[in-house]
Amino acid sequence: MGQCNHCLSRTRPVTLEDGTQLTANAVIDGRGPAPSPHLCLGYQAFLGQEIRLAAPHGLEEPILMDASLAQGDGYRFVYVLPFTPDTLLIEDTHYVDQPLDDDAQLRDNIRAYAKAKKWQIDEVLREEHGVLPITLAGDFDAFWSEADGQPRSGLRAGLFHPTTGYSLPHAVRLAQRIAALDNLSAASLFTAIRDEAKQEWRQQGYFRLLNRMLFLAGSPSQRWQVMQRFYGLSESLIESFYAGRLSAVDKARILVGKPPVPLGEAIRAAHCSTPSRLRSSYRRDSTFSRN
């Protein structure tokens, strides 16, 4: 983890947490998402534990999304990945308006889930946790003006799937783009990465619309209904959704039929495509005022 200095300075150094200073022709800031008034976000918060059980778990395949749980303040699900007959990963995931800061509660959730499955935990081998951004609305030009010429990557550049928060495919595409550049100066990298991000932003407008309907229309505890309907669609459509490449027919298929959220609230959410519109429309709510 480092602190990036202004990329247009002569030395372009980066200072690490231990005080070490590195100097290069360019520094790319990939430290994860930073708060910005030009983005309105929801969040996917998760904590997972790889555990060893006292006896075999009996699973023959993963449990990808178990939402038959108390939902709380957002859409909640657990997924389970069996690694060996007696080891598995249990991950507790929440789509919420603000990042969760109670890891102890998530650990309790995992223990309760294992107990309900009659799995006795013998040892916790490792733990992972994080918070991924879910984009609802934004002002692309203003967001990138904040960078002031500093090249960014990953979540800090807005290069991630707007509904899942996953960034690996975007990272691969960006790496290929950078590798093809003849000029690796800070200014050249900033322009190339911004262009990549702008192209993705234009393609992701429909996903941001769906996110607003998920987060803004209806009660947080009822968000599971949106997901239940979505995962009843065809496998090929769901694959295209996760790849971030939906056809016009796919987009129509997702929205056709009776909406799983109140229609009036869905229309209201759909029109909040910029931070100013969203905050104006939901000004009496504190939910998105701090994003």
74-105: per-residue pLDDT in tens?
A: 899 999 999 999 999 999 999 999 888 789 99
CA-CA distance, 250 to 237, in Å (whole number)?
6
Other Cβ atoms within 10 Å of 147 Cβ, number? 18
**Amino acid 108: pLDDT:** 95
Q: What are the pLDDT digits (tens) for 189-206?
A: 999 999 999 999 999 999
Instruction: Report the relative pairing of strands 2-4 and 13-16 from DSSP bridges.
Output: antiparallel
**Amino acid 191: pLDDT:** 96
Other Cβ atoms within 10 Å of 14 Cβ, number? 17
| E-state strands within the chain | 2-4, 13-16, 21-23, 39-53, 63-66, 75-84, 87-96, 121-138
Q: What is the 3-state secondary structure (H, E, C) of 147-187?
A: CCCCCECHHHHCCCCCCCCCCHHHHHHHHHHHHCCCCCCHH
Q: What are the pLDDT digits (tens) for 11-21?
A: 577 888 899 98
Q: Would you say 62 and 81 are in contact if contact means Cβ atoms under 8 Å apart?
A: yes
**Amino acid 11: pLDDT:** 52
Low-confidence ranges of the chain (pLDDT < 50): 1-10, 284-291
Q: Would you say 20 and 1 are in contact if contact means Cβ atoms under 8 Å apart?
A: no
**Amino acid 281: pLDDT:** 85
The two tokens of residue 24 are: 């290069």
The two tokens of residue 245 are: 């490449």
CA-CA distance, 108 to 82, in Å (whole number)?
20
For residue 289, the number of C-alpha atoms closer than 13 Å in the C-beta half-sphere is: 8
Other Cβ atoms within 10 Å of 163 Cβ, number? 21
CA-CA distance, 157 to 198, in Å (whole number)?
10
Beta bridge mates, 131: 45
Q: Would you say 94 and 45 are in contact if contact means Cβ atoms under 8 Å apart?
A: yes
* Torsion from C-alpha of 185, 189, 191, 193, nearest 10 degrees: 180
pTM here is 0.84
**Amino acid 33: pLDDT:** 86
